[in-house]
């Protein structure tokens, strides 16, 4: 399986542009969330050259105040709106780089700009713990919060906290305070925009560890009853006969996090029906015809989700995505061996859909 995952990672790298940008698929745009997910997948199987190029693209794309635009093209910006979940998520890529054995010096280089991004994001948290789902280009908040995006932000803040604790340079107290308040908002489950017809709104709070086991298991049961097909894959939109690779792989990680081992393994195994000969994965397919949708699209974020799900399911049940990427004891061991600066020597460390509608097309009816 390891060789198959390397093949999938190389299929991701084959789409990467000379700038380091990883678009959704050849000829399409990129967003920093799915780009960071792809970088994490590349790093996790040892494709360090491509992963480092992806980190450099993030460093070159971030604005002076730490913001990222929502969508980028090869030669500029496609959508200048600012999605705060998209801004926060590069912490996951940096963590995957470190946890997979990447250079700690490179990681600290990228934490320098990510520190600005983190300050930018945390300053937008509201008193009720919610974050506005996006800002206008002139930094005015838009109305509403998204359940799945907020859950992904929990993962990003968890990753940022690990990096701050182990490598320094990030205000871990502020990170933990923001994460705790956002967790409480997710547990109350009030004030979010209604997107419960999308499967990710059901499983992402479970994947993020925001719910206790009983509530989380009930949430997955309800999702699987409505959205899981006979072949095991998960519908992206619950009332449409369209199953998708990324949502199915992410749901596998959610099931694994609460100890539902058989469900997790079956979900992850089911995406092999969408695997292509070169190791890439179709974004999705329409049932019962099994026609690819969008037609011919093999998305990098779908492949990345599969690689990361395998990384999680290699670990003991109940391991989270962040824990699987961090391999914390390995970070500590490498830091001591390398005799790089400790926390006391560094700069006062303390502890949209996910990226709008990923497929970029209207789901089939």
Please report whether residue 353 resides in a domain.
Answer: no
Q: Which of 226, 179, 187, 184 is nearest to 206 (CA)?
A: 187
Contacts with 111 (C-beta within 8 Å, 6 or more apart), sequence order: 94, 163, 167, 169, 170
Q: Residue 91's domain spans which residues? A: 2-345
Please report whether residue 354 resides in a domain.
Answer: no
Label residue 46 by pLDDT band (50, 70, 90).
very high
Please report whether residue 255 resides in a domain.
Answer: yes
- What is the spatial distance between Cα 71 and Cα 33, in angstroms, rounded to a whole number? 10
Q: Supply the pLDDT for residue 340.
A: 42
Domains of the chain: total: 1
| Residue 82 φ/ψ, nearest 5 degrees | -115, 115
Token look-up 């749901």 returns 251
Q: Supply the pLDDT for residue 333.
A: 53
Label residue 126 by pLDDT band (50, 70, 90).
very high
Q: What percent of the chain has pLDDT over 90?
A: 88
| Mean pLDDT to the nearest integer, 296-310 | 98
The per-residue pLDDT for range 134-168, each reduced to its tens digit, is 999 999 999 999 999 999 999 999 999 999 999 99
The per-residue pLDDT for range 157-210, each reduced to its tens digit, is 999 999 999 999 999 999 999 999 999 999 999 999 999 999 999 999 999 999
Please report whether residue 361 resides in a domain.
Answer: no
Please report whether residue 124 resides in a domain.
Answer: yes
Q: Which of 37, 20, 147 is nearest to 88 (CA)?
A: 37
The per-residue pLDDT for range 325-364, each reduced to its tens digit, is 997 445 545 554 543 433 323 322 222 334 343 544 566 6
CATH of the domain at 40: 1.50.10.10
Please report whether residue 365 resides in a domain.
Answer: no
- The 10 Å Cβ neighbour count of residue 273 is 16
Please report whether residue 362 resides in a domain.
Answer: no
Query: Whole-number mean pLDDT of the chain?
Result: 91
Please report whether residue 350 resides in a domain.
Answer: no
């Amino acid at each position: 399986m390891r060789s198959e995952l390397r093949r999938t990672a190389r299929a991701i790298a084959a789409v990467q542009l000379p700038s380091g940008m990883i678009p959704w698929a050849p000829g399409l745009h990129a967003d920093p969330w799915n780009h960071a997910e792809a970088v994490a997948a590349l790093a996790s199987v040892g494709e360090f050259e491509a992963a480092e190029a992806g980190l450099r693209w993030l460093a070159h794309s971030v604005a002076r105040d730490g913001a990222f635009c929502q969508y980028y093209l090869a030669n500029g910006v496609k959508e200048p709106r600012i999605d705060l979940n998209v801004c926060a998520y590069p912490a996951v890529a940096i963590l995957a780089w470190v946890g997979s054995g990447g250079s700690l010096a490179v990681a600290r280089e990228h934490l320098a700009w990510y520190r600005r991004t983190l300050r930018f994001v945390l300053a937008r948290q509201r008193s009720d713990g919610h974050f506005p789902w996006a800002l206008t280009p002139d930094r005015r908040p838009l109305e509403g919060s998204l359940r799945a995006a907020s859950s992904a932000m929990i993962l990003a803040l968890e990753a940022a906290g690990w990096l701050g604790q182990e490598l320094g340079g990030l205000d871990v107290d502020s990170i933990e305070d923001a994460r705790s308040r956002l967790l409480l908002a997710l547990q109350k489950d009030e004030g979010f925009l209604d997107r419960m017809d999308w499967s990710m709104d059901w499983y992402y709070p479970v994947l993020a560890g925001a719910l206790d086991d009983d509530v989380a298991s009930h949430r997955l049961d309800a999702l699987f009853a409505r959205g899981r097909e006979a072949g095991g894959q998960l519908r992206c939109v619950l009332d449409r006969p369209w199953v998708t690779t990324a949502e199915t792989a992410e749901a596998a990680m959610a099931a694994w996090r609460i100890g539902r081992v058989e469900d997790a393994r079956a979900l992850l195994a089911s995406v092999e029906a969408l695997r292509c000969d070169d190791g890439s994965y179709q974004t999705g397919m329409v049932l019962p015809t099994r026609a690819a949708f969008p037609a011919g699209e093999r998305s990098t974020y779908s492949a990345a989700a599969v690689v990361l799900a395998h990384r999680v399911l290699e670990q003991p049940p109940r391991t989270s995505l962040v824990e699987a990427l961090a391999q914390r004891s390995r970070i500590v061991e490498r830091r001591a061996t390398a005799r790089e600066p400790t926390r006391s020597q560094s700069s006062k460390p303390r502890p949209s859909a996910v990226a709008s509608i990923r497929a970029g097309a209207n789901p089939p009816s």
